[in-house]
Amino acid sequence: MRLSLLKIGIMAFLVGFPYLEPAAAETHTPTAYAGIMDLTSNEDMGIQHLRGEWMFTSEDGSAPIPIQVPGTWNHITGNPYSEGVYTLRLLPPTSAAEKAAIGGLLLPELSQALEVRVNGRLIFSSGDMKTGKADFTRELIPFMIEPEILLSIKIKNAQFRNGGLLYVPVFSDYDQLKRFRERKIFLEALIIGILLLVALYHLLLFAWRYQNVSALYLGFAALLMIFRGLTTGENLITVLFPNFSWTLDYRIEYISAYLSALALLRFLDTTFPFRNQFVKGAITIISGCIIAVSLFTTVLPISLLSKTVYLLQGCILICLLLGLAVIIHGYKEKKAASDLFFWGGLISIVLFIGDCAYYLFLPFSIFNSGLIGILIFLLVQTFVLSRIYGTAYLRAESLTRTLEDEVLKRTAALENTNHSLQEEITQRKRVEERLTVLSTTDPLTGAANRNKMNALLEQNHKVFLRYETCYGLIMFDVDHFKRVNDRYGHAVGDRVLKRLVEITLGVIRQCDILARWGGEEFLVLLPTLDIEGTVSAAERIRSALEEETHPEVGTVTASFGATIPQNRETMKDILARLDGYLYKAKQEGRNRVVHR
């Protein structure tokens, strides 16, 4: 009766499992269309998977075109080893934008060099954009939610068989997204913990009954799947060891996949010995090939290793099919528990096919399910071996409990250590954020300082030289400010400067940058504006300053110079010309804007 119920449960799982993930996915988020995702009608943020049509600009500078995410850009560029920029205009829920909430962006592991910008601000970079050499990119990035978010991801691929946004970024409230990722990490850690117990159980069983070679192979398969689980999905090995080499991680992922498939095949072969010479020869050949390929994987360059994914999946599939043939043979000969072996193996094949579809972006893909399939198979085989070697397992029960207690103690100790490290990292981040603010902000007025503005000017000028994206510059100097200091004192003068900055910030756009350039001299950077817009902005600032009445000194005015870059000017030439306009404004009587 128990076996019949187990079989019914396994069959129900096989029928219903492929529908679980798509059903959940439908509730996540609307789909982006033509580079825009409108979430303003949502009552709350929720977990938003940014799938659909992003706008894509290839490295040749051609006009942006829509491209599906997830997916590769091969069909667009014709070359996987390329560079491009993905852009998505995201309209968050109105409630989140009004509260200026802290949003979060969870990047998938792309194994490509990339830069992520929000409304033109660089919020994350990974790898080397010059060479295209990759690094880990599985990151959760915080940023301020604005009424409109222009998200751009620049990717350079120089090593892997596919380029582009291969998997979907996720957007939500930062705290909610953090909890979402923590749940995923917990689930993967739980699976790995179960695999660890399975591995220890069977390796100890082999040590106690060394003639049971099946337990040895099954224990090795579980250990190898632990390594694969640590290097896929949320990459728990990098969560535990942030500086872990990503190239070593990549090799471990491949080698563990090859050898775990081989270990499972040898486990089945030793459990149900096959007399057919053709099948036995095929098992020997595939075993030798996998061992040779695994050794070769340790030295193969990453750019070539990434191209062997089809070889990897082919070897695993061959191992699964040969294993299924062995199980069917055992079932025909009515070997003990061969029926449960068959159903467990069938689940593994179904989930492995779903796993392959996920990595190949096929329409019937489920998700990264290979680890779950192996876990189910191992659990079924554990149940089977318990039936076959019940007496021996009962004797080892007390030892297993001791080991489980030790694992729990070490897990608790590791959690305490991780908690301490997290607190130290959080404190260090706070100090670094404070130092960043101090190094880029004028301490008196709160405006950007000259160092910060120089970096922004250089960045905008490079964009102008490459893409001819215009920007405006306004330089203004407070009229007769020395008289204010001499007559009323420097304390009053400081209050006047602070108030001038407040007035200016209230006039310019949120994307414009105001910096204190000198004592009473200020510089404003206005991205994307032409000369008419720049002069208009300068007039608004001038008028607002003129209309303000300061309690101690009355009206304070300023003289303005305004310009935009011309032809192939250097940044030094532009600033010199702008300074000349400011000087001319003072010569012509002050409290005016000169732009030519």
Residues with catalytic roles:
520
Both structure tokens of 140? 């959760």
Report the 10 Å Cβ neighbour count for 353.
21
The closest alpha carbon to 93, from 173, 191, 192, 2, belongs to 173
Strands of the 102-106 sheet, one edge to the other: 48-49, 170-173, 102-106, 140-144
Residue type (1 letter), 531: I
Distance CA 578, CA 595 (A): 8
Which pair of structure tokens corresponds to residue 441?
């902000």
**Crossing angle of helices 370-388 and 338-360, rounded to 10°:** 170
CA distance 500 to 497: 5
Cα–Cα distance, 482 to 490 (Å, whole number): 9
Residues in CB range of 211: below 8 A, 6 or more apart: none
Task: Name the amino acid, one letter, at 160.
Answer: F
- State how far the alpha carbon of 170 is from the alpha carbons of 189, 268, 325, in Å: 21, 41, 42
Q: Which of 373, 21, 2, 388 lies closest to 202 in space, CA to CA?
A: 388
For Cα atoms 333, 336, 338, give the angle at the middle one, nearest 5 degrees.
70
Report CA-CA distances (Å) from 7 to 35, 342, 530: 48, 10, 72
Is residue 88 within 8 A of residue 54, CB to CB? The reply is yes
Burial (Cβ within 10 Å: 0-12, 13-18, ≥19) of residue 288: exposed
Coil, strand or helix at 508: coil
Asked if residues 526 and 578 have their Cβ atoms less than 8 Å apart, the reply is no
Neighbour tally for 42: CB within 10 Å: 17
Rounded to 5 degrees, φ, ψ at 563 are -160, 175
Going 75 to 80 to 85 to 87, the CA torsion angle's sign is: positive
Burial 571-590 (b: 16+ CB within 10 A, else e): beebbebbeebbeebbeeee
Token pair in block for residue 530:
């032409």
Q: Is 265 buried (19+), middle (13-18) or exposed (0-12) by CB count in 10 A?
A: buried
- Angstrom distance (rounded) from CA 495 to CA 507: 19
What count of other Cβ atoms lies within 10 Å of the Cβ of residue 435? 10
